[in-house]
Amino acid sequence: MTGDFLSLASVVGFVSGNLILRLIAVAIVAFIVVSIGSLIEIYIERKFWARIMSRYGPTEVGRYGSLQLFADAIKFISKEVFTPELADRTIYDIVPVLAVATSFVVLVAIPFDYAVSSLFPNSFHPSSFVISNFDPSLLVAFGFFAMEPVLVLFGGWAGGSKYTLIGGFRSAAQLISYEIPLVLSFLSVVALTRSLNLFQIIEVQSASWPFLILELPAFVLFLIAMLAELERTPFDLTEADSELVAGWNTEYGGSKFLLVYLSEYIRAFAGSAIITCLFLGGWVGPAPIPGLVWIFVKTIVVFTVLVWIRAAYPRVRIDQMLNLGWKVLVPSSVVWLVLTPYVANFAVVHHLLTL
């Protein structure tokens, strides 16, 4: 064992030479990013939300309650594991695992790996650790994003309780109602850049105005549809506590509930990151700060806005929610999608956008 063999550069060279090792390295990096992101998100959710409502939030464990999340995780993991008698054992056990896995796959398509590898000097071949730069990356992300209704239905049915069944069906109705406006409103960004690659969308955006301005209606529609897809207030009918106890995950306890909760926050992180990449310019920023900081901070800011919306608005009724989805969001996203080519032409003519 010479010192040369153990040097970082040679380890990086060895890992980048082997496809599987490289992919595992990228996946572990993505997992670290999303874990840190979820921890920050849950802390913001609890503390910022509490401050808006004139409460204190967690204060006891750690300074300003910062270790509360770890205490909660330890409590969840050390709880007794059991399956209720009426539950369908196989499906009941596998749904939380699948929920975490499918929400985590969404991160394949989000260019965090590029942002991380661009931190390191050129001798480590930064671009060889990027896998998110492929063509229909947006479709892959939304494909795995759309797995949720199936899992929610399975989990709700398998729980063996009336609350979980009704909660599961309600969740599925909500998720599929907002799927179409979600797809149509991100398609108008696609129509502007003529690419399904998040990488290229960010690169086009870096040379133009942010799409938040060029595509403001699409941004508003996408944000509303995303709020509903993430099952957050004002659209948290899926776990309306006063009606359905906790929705489809009522019967999940202990470490299984921890997984369900974690998958919810991974989805929230991925959703905020997709909003960041589509409309806010991804890793591009006005100041010479590393791209990772930009994309991470923007994602957290988007999530904070979602928490703010959660604190500020009451929950809508289910008929209001379905009306909004079908009668307002679908028609307006269709109209805006058909108008987008004209916007693109206008933007190109006035040098707001270079293709």
154 binds another protein (CB under 8 A): no
Residues 27-56 that bind another protein (CB under 8 A): 27-28, 30-31
CB neighbourhood size of 279 (10 A): 25
Q: What own/partner pairs with CB < 8 Å and gap ≥ 24 does 287-292 have?
A: 290/115, 290/118, 290/119, 291/114, 291/115, 291/118, 292/112, 292/115, 292/116, 292/118, 292/119
Chosen residue from 44, 67, 150, 166 binding another protein by CB under 8 A: 166
Contact criterion met (CB below 8 Å) for 247 and 239:
yes
Amino acid at 2: T
From residue 122 to residue 141, what is the string marking binding to another protein with x (rule CB under 8 A)?
---------x--xxxx-xx-
* SS3 of the chain: helix, strand, coil, percent, to 5: 75, 0, 25
**Smallest separation, CB 161 to another protein (Å):** 4
**Smallest separation, CB 294 to another protein (Å):** 23
Residues 73-112 that bind another protein (CB under 8 A): 77-82, 84-86, 93, 96-105, 107-108
Chosen residue from 44, 334, 339, 352 binding another protein by CB under 8 A: 334
**Smallest separation, CB 220 to another protein (Å):** 19
CA gap 31, 175 in Å, rounded: 25
Rank residues 14 and 82 by Cβ distance to another protein and give the closer one.
82
Structure tokens that stand for 100 in this block: 């975490």
Q: Which among 220-228, 292-300, 301-309, 316-324 is the span making contact with another protein, rule CB under 8 A?
A: 316-324
- Torsion region of 62: left, alpha or beta (phi above 0 gives left; psi -120 to 50 gives alpha): left
Residues 171-230 that bind another protein (CB under 8 A): 172-173, 176-177, 179-180, 183-184, 187-188, 190-191, 194-196
**Smallest separation, CB 318 to another protein (Å):** 5
Rank residues 255 and 304 by Cβ distance to another protein and give the closer one.
255
244 binds another protein (CB under 8 A): no
Contact criterion met (CB below 8 Å) for 174 and 228:
yes
Amino acid at 100: V
Structure tokens that stand for 163 in this block: 């609350």
- The crossing angle, in degrees rounded to 10, of helices 137-145 and 198-206 is 120
The vertex-115 CA angle with 299 and 214, nearest 5°, equals 55
Size of the site for another protein (CB under 8 A): 83
Longest dimension (CA), the chain: 69
Rank residues 76 and 308 by Cβ distance to another protein and give the closer one.
76
Residues 245-284 that bind another protein (CB under 8 A): 245, 250-251, 254-256, 258-259
**Smallest separation, CB 27 to another protein (Å):** 5
At 135 the three-state DSSP class reads coil
347 binds another protein (CB under 8 A): no
Rank residues 187 and 268 by Cβ distance to another protein and give the closer one.
187
